[in-house]
């Protein structure tokens, strides 16, 4: 399924497997990194700086319960990218001050994978984040072809999604459609 998604135009991948032990996660990350290299898509490892370094991933995606961004930067060095997931306007300054390279904000719309973070934030909240942030902001949570246009119109640099591709009958076609939409 990942290969089909990459063939369709997915241009970055985040490995987010919180239930895997270190060795299993490392083995999976190595396989995914090789696949991502074939499609020139950067690989980000969720939370695990050690695994990101071990497989020479493009960077990490951190959140509220992760190591501090400053610590991650000191371990990763200046070449690796650090994304930071935020869920409020107040968290923007911390991501910027800490040295993140980009922000994932959401959930903008309802999605089961983000339901634990509370109600969807909506376009108005996304617009405020984009207005105050000096970092590129990517929207996450319930992204579809229809609402992606709205997200881009309020200034988001792009989107991150799971279900829109993974749950599709044909992940390659779904990824291709989203990639075309984002390029237009």
Beta strands in 78-134 (DSSP E): 81-86, 102-105
- Report the CATH number that the domain containing residue 109 is assigned in CATH: 3.20.20.70
Percent of the chain with pLDDT over 90: 86
By the 8 A CB rule, do 43 and 25 touch?
A: no
Q: What average pLDDT does the chain have?
A: 94
Rounded to two decimals, the pTM is 0.94
The 10s digit of each residue's pLDDT in 44-78 is 999 999 999 999 999 999 999 999 999 999 999 99
Q: Does the pLDDT of residue 147 top 90, yes or no?
A: yes
Which pLDDT does position 81 carry in this prediction? 98
When divided into structural domains, the chain yields a total of 1
Cα-based distances in Å from 115 to 22, 87, 118, 127? 27, 12, 6, 21
Backbone dihedral angles phi then psi of residue 83, each to the nearest 5 degrees: -100, 150
The 10s digit of each residue's pLDDT in 93-143 is 999 999 999 999 999 999 887 777 678 999 999 999 999 999 999 999 999
Question: Domain range spanning residue 78?
Answer: 2-183
By the 8 A CB rule, do 96 and 74 touch?
A: no
């Amino acid at each position: 399924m990942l290969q089909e998604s990459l063939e369709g135009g997915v241009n970055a991948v985040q490995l987010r497997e919180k239930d895997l032990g270190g060795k299993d996660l490392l083995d999976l990350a190595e396989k995914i990194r090789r696949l991502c290299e074939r499609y020139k898509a950067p690989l980000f490892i969720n939370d695990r700086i050690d695994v990101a370094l071990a497989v020479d991933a493009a960077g990490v995606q951190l959140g509220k319960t992760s190591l501090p961004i400053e610590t991650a930067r000191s371990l990763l060095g200046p070449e690796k990218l650090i994304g930071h997931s935020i869920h409020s306007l107040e968290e923007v300054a911390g991501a910027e001050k800490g040295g993140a390279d980009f922000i994932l904000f959401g959930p903008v719309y309802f999605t089961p994978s983000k339901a634990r973070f509370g109600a969807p934030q909506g376009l108005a909240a996304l617009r405020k984040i984009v207005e105050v942030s000096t970092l590129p902001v990517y929207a996450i949570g319930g992204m579809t072809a229809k609402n992606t246009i709205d997200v881009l119109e309020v200034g988001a640099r792009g989107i991150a999604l799971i279900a829109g591709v993974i749950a599709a009958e044909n992940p390659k076609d779904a990824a291709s459609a989203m990639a075309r939409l984002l390029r237009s």
